[in-house]
Amino acid sequence: MSLENENFFKRFAQVSKSINTGVNSAEIFASIVGHTKECLSAGGAFFWILDDSTSRIESVTMKGPAHGDVPNLNYSALSTLFRSRASSVVNITNIGEDSRFAGIACPEIFDNGAMCGVSMDISNSYRAILAVWFATPRCLNEVEQDLLMAFAEQGASAVHKALMYDTQMVESLRQMVEGFALVLEAKDEMTHGHSIRVARFARLLAEELTLSPHEREIIYHGGLLHDIGKIGLDDAIIERLGILSKNERNVIQQHPVIGARILRPLKFLSDVLPIVLHHHERFDGTGYPDGLKGEDIPIGARVITVCDALETMLAGRKHMRRIRLADAIGILQRNAGSQFDATLVESLFAVISKKPDLFSENGNTPQALRIHRENLKRYFDITPSIFI
């Protein structure tokens, strides 16, 4: 084995060891650009991580002097130079004469230099680009190109591993927060399971609305967490749902704001926060906390509002009898366009007609039905307060 090859394998082995022993990503990327620069005797090396779904550069790691504007190459410039899914190294032997650099703002100092790089797809929309630059015209030979590819593959594998780890970590944290919210809810026999059922109804409604799988997931998690702000409220007040005084109602109406405050530091739940904050807005603009109106209310919050109301009616509360599905449908219908988004109410009815068993009320006992008939008007009149 030649000295150069031995040198390369030593360096390659070091990077592999870093990846497999869980060294943090920043150190691995620094090690990759460092070894790539040294092995290729380059002026400098860069390792970019790009997200093609947002057209953003997520991170850049460099080794060597900042050569003019190279560290500032933007997403579109990088995408033009190193296209996604290209399986070979891009050799730009003389930047000053290369049309691919036409229109890309680069410093004069770079005019006669060279740049060679390769783009590696990672997973989902992420990809990595490993590139080296030289101050004079240069072309990587086949062996050098293989070497660049090998280091780029290592970088891509390190990013993939980090992304998997992040995904698992976020999932675990989210489950912890949701589990915490559901356990607190379970303290009360009447509210036990409320948020899970709201979340399930909401996911079905989101499917019926043909929202994207990502939006459906956000809405489902919004359902699980929509009442998390009740954690900070006095249980005695929550139990009085249906017979709340004006003061108690004012207190309980704080729960969307408290919920949003709880979630705000948790960046991984930022998509869910608007649902929690706005799930008591009304379509006619008379809801709370912000009095948002119509489609200014986020779609996820509108979905949860109607599902929350349906679940609350079907399950009942300590001071509020359960309502039969048929009657709950009537109440939703009468409030469509004022409290609820009428389009969503219609879509929810479509879901119910397809899967009626999932919406079975537990209030079909003769006694509950008798009380319900006698009090339907009263229930209807207090509709705004029972959906707290």
Measured CA to CA, the distance from residue 23 to residue 18 in angstroms comes to: 5
Nearest distance from C-beta of residue 326 to Fe ion, angstroms? 22
Closest-CA residue to 279 (of 313, 255, 312): 255
Shorter beta-carbon distance to Fe ion: residue 30 or 237: 237
Stretch that binds Fe ion, among 62-70, 142-150, 214-222, 308-316 (CB under 5 A): 308-316
Q: How far apart are CA 297 and CA 228, in angstroms?
A: 19
Strand partners, 336: 340
Rounded to the nearest whole angstrom, what is the least distance from the CB of residue 212 to Fe ion in the complex?
24
Judged by CB under 5 A, the stretch of 71-79, 114-122, 179-187, 303-311 that binds Fe ion is 303-311
Contact window for Fe ion (CB under 5 A) among 57-65, 71-79, 217-225, 302-310 = 302-310
Stretch that binds Fe ion, among 70-78, 100-108, 221-229, 369-377 (CB under 5 A): 221-229
Pick the closer one to Fe ion by CB: 155 or 363.
363
Closest distance of CB 285 from Fe ion, Å: 18
> Segment near Fe ion (CB under 5 A), from 117-125, 150-158, 305-313, 371-379?
305-313
- Binding residues with Fe ion: total (CB under 5 A): 2
Q: Is residue 281 near Fe ion by the rule CB under 5 A?
A: no
State which of residues 144, 178, 185, 227 lies at the interface with Fe ion (CB under 5 A).
Answer: 227
**Cβ-based nearer residue to Fe ion, 17 or 319:** 319
Rounded CA-CA distance 44/60 in Å is 13
Among 185, 281, 308, 341, binds Fe ion (CB under 5 A): 308
Q: Which of 268, 288 has the CB closer to Fe ion?
A: 288
Count CB neighbours of 149 within 10 A: 16
Q: Which is nearer to Fe ion, 152 or 301 (CB)?
A: 301
| Cα 197 from chain centroid (whole Å) | 22
Footprint on this chain of Fe ion (rule: CB under 5 A): 227, 308
